[in-house]
Amino acid sequence: MAETVTDLNWMKKLLSEEEVAHLALSDNGSPYVVPINYAYMDNMLVLHCAMTGRKLDIIRENHSCCLAVNRHPDKVKYHPEKKCHYRFQSVLVYGKARFVEWAEERLKWIRKYNAYFNNRLDWIMPGQYDIKSAEKCGIILVEIESMTGRREEGHDKNAHKAIDKPVS
């Protein structure tokens, strides 16, 4: 059975190890969700994006947001003789999103974003970033207000190794 996680360090670790989130916004009461790359740094989420689009229009009207980050270590398998369960880890981040309007400030964040991923990759993201590149590249900062975590580690650690259902 899934458990609620309140350990802030566990949630921060998951945020720092993953790099794709689903950003949920509210557009005049209608939900809008989009997958997006992010970097977790300076106790906030930094999102790289285009300079125009629906998510930016929504954020300018309503700063409240939620991001879902999850990890699924297994594929769903057919398991007729085992308890049905699916291991996962997730964090929901609630916060306020802000598009960085000024190119000079975006340039600072673009460089930090690039360095963040260069420290994680076994290759270097090329590019010299200057004010011209910052004029074409959007950055959204999400100030974290609260987080909740959930995880299902499973009692049967071998349940994910169940034999696939035979094809008839």
pLDDT value, residue 159: 55
Residue 154 has pLDDT above 70, yes or no: no
8 Å CB contact between 33 and 24: yes
The answer to whether residue 148 sits within a structural domain is yes
The answer to whether residue 116 sits within a structural domain is yes
User: Which residues have C-beta within 8 Å of that of residue 8, sequence separation ≥ 6?
Assistant: 147
- What are 8-29's pLDDT values in tens digits? 999 999 999 999 999 999 999 9
The pTM (predicted TM-score) of the whole model is: 0.84
* CATH number for the domain that contains residue 34: 2.30.110.10
Q: What is the mean pLDDT of the chain?
A: 87
Q: Say which amino acid occupies 161.
A: K
pLDDT value, residue 120: 82
The answer to whether residue 86 sits within a structural domain is yes
8 Å CB contact between 25 and 55: yes
**For 7, what's the count of Cα atoms within 13 Å in the CB-facing half-sphere?**
10
The answer to whether residue 164 sits within a structural domain is no
User: Which residues have C-beta within 8 Å of that of residue 128, sequence separation ≥ 6?
Assistant: none
**Strand 88-99 vs strand 138-152: parallel, antiparallel, or unpaired?**
antiparallel
Counted domains in the chain:
1
Compute the average pLDDT of residues 127-146. Answer: 92
The answer to whether residue 122 sits within a structural domain is yes
Residue 138 CB coordination number (10 Å) = 20
The answer to whether residue 106 sits within a structural domain is yes
8 Å CB contact between 51 and 70: no
Distance CA(63)–CA(85), nearest Å, equals 36
CA distances for 157 relative to 2, 86, 161, angstroms: 14, 10, 9
The answer to whether residue 73 sits within a structural domain is yes
Residue of 127 and 41 predicted with greater confidence: 41
Continuous segment of H or E residues that includes residue 10: helix 8-17
Range of the domain at 13: 3-156
The answer to whether residue 11 sits within a structural domain is yes
- What are 89-119's pLDDT values in tens digits? 999 999 999 999 999 999 999 999 988 988 8
Distance CA(95)–CA(59), nearest Å, equals 12
| Structural tokens at position 109 | 């964040």
